[in-house]
A and B are shown apart, each in its own frame.
Chain A
């Protein structure tokens, strides 16, 4: 069960932070994935 908790937590946190970074950069008119395009 611990592994499931860890996996879910990591997935949720990663999604949250990447989403947050993307949205806040986009709100400033900037491209978060600049380097990868």
Chain B
């Protein structure tokens, strides 16, 4: 196509492309810039603050008070000052107090069903789809970029096709996200009008930004998707890639805004103890838990999105009719799963940060979560995390089977299994369990004399870090699957890597044991070096491995598509476990507020202001997971109805003629 243009035309085209991008960027981010003035002024004035009728009522009340008091005393009564519940600074109480609700139809209109469960399902479904459509464009951006910088043209085309496949899936899901968002709003308005009214009065300055950024996101997404073929080459391709950057910036702003609402409900700020808005919207947004939630959710969304796309690829792999299709979807599943796992590895650390901030904000809240009412849910969460890592490792070991030379590592896998199982068993050991008096007597106390020692954080930190380090090692082995390093220092490099992993594990276990002998205030700090040790394995050993493998000798091609079907079921299990865990953690995070709509500010007086039993919660979570997967299967099916693009033929690896997929031997 490039040859059709003269140099002059090309310059013009470049100019127009860049101009178009700038204009599109400005227009699409305009809502944010326009709202900056409102944010800067603390959300007051015509663009923010409490509703006009509230202001009018306040003004009338102030005037009435002034008339009663008369003279100078009345002037003082006009501006009431409130003290921020979190920032502890004073500000004008410009908002209405949080409504004091009662258990009646006025505050809590209802059907003949538990309103909280209805809202729970609506919220969870919206969150699932929202997470998916926010994560997938980030993958697209990375993959499209990888394709553009790739020197291998066949690979570049394959990456481009892959990015296109990804965005195609997310497009239908995007419509569903919007529909579910609408259902969620209606559920709030119908079942919790007083609470929703209060929340929207507090967030009024940013509510319209949220709506407008949603419009901007939709516009960008449609241009990005439908412009794929038109902007295929040259500078236009860079413009296209830049669109994905804009898309992701907008998506991230959207998510941060939504996070600010839940963070406010858990750890309110910017309001006084009566819940009156104090005129500074930044304080309302920037609560104690906002940033930890932001980081945790970004990572969680990416891991979840990777899992869902990988499951899509697995589904297509299993239903493929040709080797070519199977090879394409095997590769797609591998890329998606790798991206997902790349974000899964730091996810527990973000979780630790969030929990630390929860403890710092309200110690009692942390105890309710991890040592009290909700502690058993954390045991379930630990089990799910263990399943995620075990499944990831299992997939990687299966994937070694499609590489010539991968069999070198098979005999060592049993040692990794041993470490993983030990780490998992420690990680899921509860501190105490509910027992009958007879059981209690038989065991000799609330804690088991041996296993009870593993039910504390010191041991659990050691367990999860051991699991993550082992997963990193599996990934490094996978990278080496069909390659042998040829650098002159390869022997030293191999020995160094081996020593590094062994000493990292020993250091991790030593710190875990050391934790038993020192006071709690010192022990809590040990989690930081434990995390740093694990991250060192990831951030130092992976580049070292890549440096060693540079220009390495290939033992043979990667036989894409020739992987046992059970590996694909492992991927589907991975994605399902992600979904279940997201549902569980969302429930835990939300139910830690106990009987508060907004913690310590607005009380929940509905008949459902209690904590459900674990069994009931697990059933609702399972229903949500099932509903999501049935609906996403529908989305996948819709994706297959469109014009079918034949997977691009590219010599990622030379297929081995006559070799069909066979189950791998061993494990």
B-binding residues in A (CB < 8 A): 1-2, 5-6, 8-10, 12-14, 16-18, 20-21, 24-25, 27-28, 30-32, 34-35
Contact = CB atoms under 8 A, between A and B. Distances in A.
A5 B490 CA distance: 11
Nearest to A4: B492
B528 A24 contact: yes
Given A6-B495, A20-B529, A25-B525, 10 more contacts: A1-B491, A5-B495, A8-B492, A9-B496, A10-B503, A13-B500, A30-B521, A30-B522, A32-B529, A34-B522
B504 interface: yes
Q: Sort A-B residue pairs by CB-CB distance and give the 8 closest, nearest first.
A: A9-B499, A13-B503, A30-B525, A21-B529, A17-B507, A9-B496, A24-B529, A5-B495
Contacts of A17: 503-504, 507, 533
A5 B495 CA distance: 7
Interface in B67-112: none
A21 B532 CA distance: 8
15 contacts: A2-B495, A5-B491, A5-B496, A10-B499, A12-B496, A13-B496, A17-B503, A17-B504, A18-B507, A24-B528, A25-B528, A32-B529, A34-B519, A34-B522, A35-B517
A37 B495 CA distance: 35
Contacts of A30: 521-522, 525
B643 interface: no
B487 to A, nearest CB: 14
A34 B522 CA distance: 8
B528 A34 contact: no
B507 A21 contact: yes
Interface in B511-542: 511, 514, 517-519, 521-522, 525-526, 528-529, 532-533, 536
Interface string B431-447: 00000000000000000
A6 B564 CA distance: 38
Contacts of A21: 507, 511, 529, 533
Contacts, number: 62
A16 to B, nearest CB: 8
* Interface size range of chain B in the complex: 20 to 34
Nearest to B507: A17
A21 B504 CA distance: 11
B517 to A, nearest CB: 5
Contact of A35 (B492, B498, B518, B529): B518
A20 B525 contact: no
Contacts of A25: 522, 525-526, 528-529
B55 to A, nearest CB: 47
Contacts of A2: 491, 495
Interface in B245-268: none
Nearest to B497: A9
A28 B20 CA distance: 50
A21 to B, nearest CB: 4
B525 A14 contact: no
Nearest to A17: B507
B518 A34 contact: yes
Contacts of A20: 529, 532-533, 536
A23 to B, nearest CB: 8
B574 to A, nearest CB: 31
Nearest to A10: B499
Contacts of B522: 25, 30-31, 34
Contacts of B504: 13, 17
B257 to A, nearest CB: 32
A28 B500 contact: no
A13 B496 CA distance: 8
A2 to B, nearest CB: 7
B353 to A, nearest CB: 13
Contacts of B526: 25
A9 B500 contact: yes
B545 to A, nearest CB: 15
Contacts of A35: 514, 517-518
Interface-centre pick from B503, B532, B533 (highest chain A CB count, 10 A): B503
Contacts of B528: 24-25, 27-28
Contacts of B529: 20-21, 24-25, 32
Interface-centre pick from B495, B504, B514, B526 (highest chain A CB count, 10 A): B495
Contacts of A14: 503
A32 B281 CA distance: 42
Contacts of A16: 536
Contacts of B499: 6, 9-10, 13
Contacts of A6: 495, 499
A18 to B, nearest CB: 8
A32 B525 CA distance: 9
Nearest to A31: B522
Nearest to A11: B499
Nearest to A22: B529
A14 to B, nearest CB: 6
A12 B499 CA distance: 9
Contacts of B519: 34
Interface in B459-511: 491-492, 495-496, 498-500, 503-504, 507, 511
A25 to B, nearest CB: 5
Nearest to B511: A21
A8 B498 CA distance: 12
A18 B511 CA distance: 11
B495 A24 contact: no
A14 B502 CA distance: 10
Interface in B198-212: none
